[in-house]
């Protein structure tokens, strides 16, 4: 019966994601989650030990999604700057399309301010950024006066802000998400000139054009 159990678990996670996304961790009652897709309370507590546990599972899935995307991009592109830009696009797209992604973002945003166990929200993205920027410097793509730690901190925080703006930009998320598909593209348009060399910038503009985006 593993197969059925697996499907049940999936249903629970998705129902929970939708509820957490719109109500937040504390605002989402298990009753809401359970009622939404005719799950039983028993089923929920069979698969997850607690509400906290359920939330962590969602965040874990979100992290896995991001990690997979990062790994994928790194294996396909040697140039670190390109990985950074495409990663941000990819994440932005997942934000628009995947409820679990959005739920995860909201959950970590709320949790770290409370006394949660160990879900570091910004740090992980900032860490990745830092690594990638170090590579980019080695590839001579960065302007000489860019300070890597501070640049990584800024970029990750700005991306977080954009994600949030993207996830719940206006009253009802769905409409807002359609309206601003290119908010991340906007970011790079204004930030890239202050960070990368002119040559790199024109290369990235070309890449963007290839992918149907305007930089």
Q: Which residues contribute to the site for a second copy (CB under 8 A)?
A: 22-24, 26-27, 106, 109-110, 112-115, 122-123, 146-147, 150-151, 153-155, 157-162, 164-165, 167-171, 173, 180, 182-183, 186-187, 189-195
What six digits make up the tokens of 98? Answer: 């995947």
Question: What is the phi/psi pair of residue 196, to 5°?
Answer: -105, 165
Contacts of 49 (CB under 8 A, 6+ apart): none
Strand partners of residue 142: 196
Nearest distance from C-beta of residue 96 to a second copy, angstroms: 15
* 104 or 188: CB nearest DNA: 104
Query: What burial class does residue 20 get, using C-beta atoms within 10 Å of its C-beta: 0-12 exposed, 13-18 middle, 19+ buried?
Result: buried
* 127 or 161: CB nearest a second copy: 161
* 14 or 131: CB nearest DNA: 14
Among 21, 51, 80, 103, binds DNA (CB under 7 A): 51
Helices (H) and strands (E) in the chain, counts: 11, 0
**Angstrom distance (rounded) from CA 162 to CA 192:** 16
Out of DNA, a second copy, none, what residue 47 binds, judged by CB under 5 to 8 A for its kind, is DNA
| Exposure of 31 in the CB half-sphere (CA atoms within 13 A) | 1
Out of DNA, a second copy, none, what residue 50 binds, judged by CB under 5 to 8 A for its kind, is DNA
Nearest distance from C-beta of residue 26 to a second copy, angstroms: 4
Directed axis angle between helix 99-111 and helix 80-97, to 10°? 100
What six digits make up the tokens of 64? Answer: 């896995």
Q: Which helix (H) or strand (E) holds 59?
A: helix 51-76
Convert residues 15-44 into a mask of x (bound to DNA by CB under 7 A) and - (unbound): -----------x-xxxxx------xxxxxx
* 22 or 139: CB nearest a second copy: 22
Out of a second copy, DNA, none, what residue 45 binds, judged by CB under 5 to 8 A for its kind, is DNA
Binding residues for DNA, rule: CB under 7 A, are 1-2, 4-5, 7-9, 26, 28-32, 39-47, 49-52
């Amino acid at each position: 019966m593993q197969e059925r159990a697996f499907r049940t678990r999936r249903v629970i996670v998705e129902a929970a994601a939708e509820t957490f996304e719109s109500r937040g961790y504390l605002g989402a009652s298990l009753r809401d989650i359970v009622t939404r897709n005719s799950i039983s309370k028993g089923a929920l507590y069979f698969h997850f030990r607690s509400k906290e546990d359920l939330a962590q599972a969602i965040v874990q899935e979100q992290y896995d999604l991001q990690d997979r995307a990062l790994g994928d991009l790194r294996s396909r592109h040697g140039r670190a700057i390109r990985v950074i830009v495409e990663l941000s696009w990819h994440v932005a797209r997942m934000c628009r399309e995947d409820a679990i992604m959005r739920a995860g973002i909201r959950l970590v945003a709320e949790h770290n301010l409370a006394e949660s166990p160990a879900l570091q929200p910004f740090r992980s993205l900032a860490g990745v950024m830092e690594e990638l920027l170090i590579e980019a410097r080695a590839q001579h793509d960065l302007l000489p006066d860019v300070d890597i730690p501070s640049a990584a901190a800024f970029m990750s925080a700005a991306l977080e802000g954009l994600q949030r703006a993207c996830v719940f930009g206006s009253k009802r998320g769905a409409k807002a998400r359609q309206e601003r598909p290119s908010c991340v593209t906007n970011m790079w348009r204004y930030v890239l000139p202050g960070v990368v060399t002119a040559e790199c910038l024109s290369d990235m503009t070309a890449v963007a054009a290839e992918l149907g985006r305007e930089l």
